Amino acid sequence: DVYLDCEHKDGRVYLWGATLTTPDEPDGTYHPFANWDDDLDEAGEEALARELADWLTDTVATAGKAGRSVTVYHYGPTEPTHLRRILPDDDRVAELDDLFVDLLAVVRDHYDGVGSKSLKTVGAAFGAVWRTEGATGADTLHWVDDARNGDTDAQDRLVAYNEDDTQALRALRNGLRDT
């Protein structure tokens, strides 16, 4: 299973993060794909998305050789929408699109509640924690400027935040499966 999350600002994705779990590694291994360029342009965003698509394609091929399949979990339409927007003519994107499962759609279709259906709220209900306690996606927008100016602490904080989002997806998916 792959748990995919992206971070974006000013209409451009600057960070894709994916946690890959296998039967041998149920907690998963996190793989970040980041571009900290201050003037991230269309070509830079495309190159970053191609890195992710290459990795996903290789992951699917490796799983297939082992007799396994891959499912790519995300929360809401953001990740597949950005991937299709950035790589509209890449045949791999259409193939990968068939692997995507939107956990927000599952939550909306099957669970009612009084509270928010944000990943932070729902993921926490299934035991997810974030190292950047209390931070939201909006908070990360302030960190991006520092990261783009070479602040490695801000870069590390953004990568950790993204990794925690992918781990929240994993916790949510495992919790939904167990209910």
pLDDT tens digits along 145-169: 999 999 999 999 999 999 999 999 9
8 A C-beta contact, residue 167 and residue 19: yes
Instruction: Give the pTM.
Output: 0.94
Q: What pLDDT score does 114 carry?
A: 58
Backbone angles phi, psi at 126, to 5 degrees: -105, 15
In sequence order, the 6+-apart residues with CB closer than 8 A to the CB of 126 are 168, 171, 172, 174, 175, 176
Residue 139 banded pLDDT, cuts 50, 70, 90: confident
Backbone angles phi, psi at 21, to 5 degrees: -110, 150
Residue 177 banded pLDDT, cuts 50, 70, 90: confident
Distance CA 41, CA 126 (A): 37
Distance CA 5, CA 17 (A): 5
For the chain, the residue count is: 179
User: Residue for token digits 């783009």?
Assistant: 148
Q: Which residues pair with 102 in a beta bridge?
A: 74
Strands 29-34 and 12-20: what pairing? antiparallel
Question: What is the tens place of the pLDDT at every residue in 81-133?
Answer: 999 999 999 999 999 999 999 999 999 887 776 578 889 889 988 899 999 87
Q: What pLDDT score does 110 carry?
A: 78
Question: What is the tens place of the pLDDT at every residue in 14-73?
Answer: 999 999 999 999 999 999 999 999 889 999 999 999 999 999 999 999 999 999 999 999
Q: What pLDDT score does 10 carry?
A: 87
Q: What pLDDT score does 113 carry?
A: 67
Q: What pLDDT score does 109 carry?
A: 84
Distance CA 140, CA 126 (A): 23
Distance CA 123, CA 179 (A): 14
Distance CA 87, CA 93 (A): 7
